[in-house]
């Protein structure tokens, strides 16, 4: 496992960059199965160079506008995209998924999502909406297997040992529901990880619009 570095499309993320993205957010009330899984997983990651994602930053990335930074996009375009997204996802309804098992991958720990056909269809609708507003060359974000990241690697580590540790987290799966997506302005910052002076990449965002799938 290698230390995580965020990417802007397919290139390294420059310091200070802010980017428009679209995320799906899971329902994550305290005591829910997904909340329990993530809490137990964070405990299992103690001692490993992995920075866990907090509940309020747990997300599923659907798309990223890579043709221009967020500071060149004004409020009118925000509204146009939000309106187009509402039209694109109208009638989708809640999406029910299962998260898990946790997977140790190249730069952190992620949760696989299943069954993901409805989520993949939602992602295609989102991309079509983005292209309608910003053009077909606006998204160089690669569409791969959808997932949610549970933690980002802060340094190189033995992935085999980590994989064995997170495999012991039980229950290793959790049902959950996605009822909303957000249009947000994402920014990564370098800051010391809790308990260390080592600067690591930490995710934050400002929400510009929330679009309900069950509206």
**SS3 of residue 55 by DSSP:** helix
pLDDT of residue 105: 92
pLDDT of residue 16: 86
What does the domain layout of the chain look like in residue ranges? 7-212
Residues of the chain with pLDDT under 70: 195
Q: For residues 50 and 162, is the Cβ–Cβ distance under 8 A?
A: yes
Asked whether the whole model's pTM tops 0.75, one would answer yes
Residue count of the chain: 215
pLDDT of residue 14: 86
Q: What is the CATH number of domain 7-212?
A: 3.90.1140.10
18: left (phi over 0), alpha (psi -120 to 50) or beta: beta
């Amino acid at each position: 496992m290698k230390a995580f570095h965020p990417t802007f499309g397919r290139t390294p993320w420059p310091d200070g960059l802010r980017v428009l993205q679209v995320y799906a957010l899971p329902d994550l009330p305290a005591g829910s199965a997904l909340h329990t899984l993530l809490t137990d997983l964070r405990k299992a990651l103690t001692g490993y160079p992995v920075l866990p994602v907090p509940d309020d930053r747990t997300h599923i990335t659907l798309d990223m506008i890579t043709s221009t930074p967020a500071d060149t996009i004004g409020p009118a375009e925000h509204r146009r995209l939000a309106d187009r997204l509402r039209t694109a996802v109208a009638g989708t309804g809640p999406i029910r998924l299962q998260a898990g098992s946790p997977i140790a991958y190249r730069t952190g720990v992620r949760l696989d999502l299943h069954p993901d056909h409805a989520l993949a269809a939602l992602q295609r609708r989102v991309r079509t909406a983005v292209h309608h507003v910003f053009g077909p060359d606006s998204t160089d974000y690669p569409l791969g297997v959808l997932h949610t990241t549970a933690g980002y690697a802060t340094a190189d580590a033995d992935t085999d040992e980590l994989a064995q540790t997170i495999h012991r987290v039980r229950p290793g799966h959790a049902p959950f529901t996605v009822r909303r997506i957000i249009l947000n302005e994402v920014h990564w910052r370098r800051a010391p990880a809790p308990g260390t002076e080592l600067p690591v990449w930490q995710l934050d965002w400002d929400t510009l619009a929330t679009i309900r799938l069950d509206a």
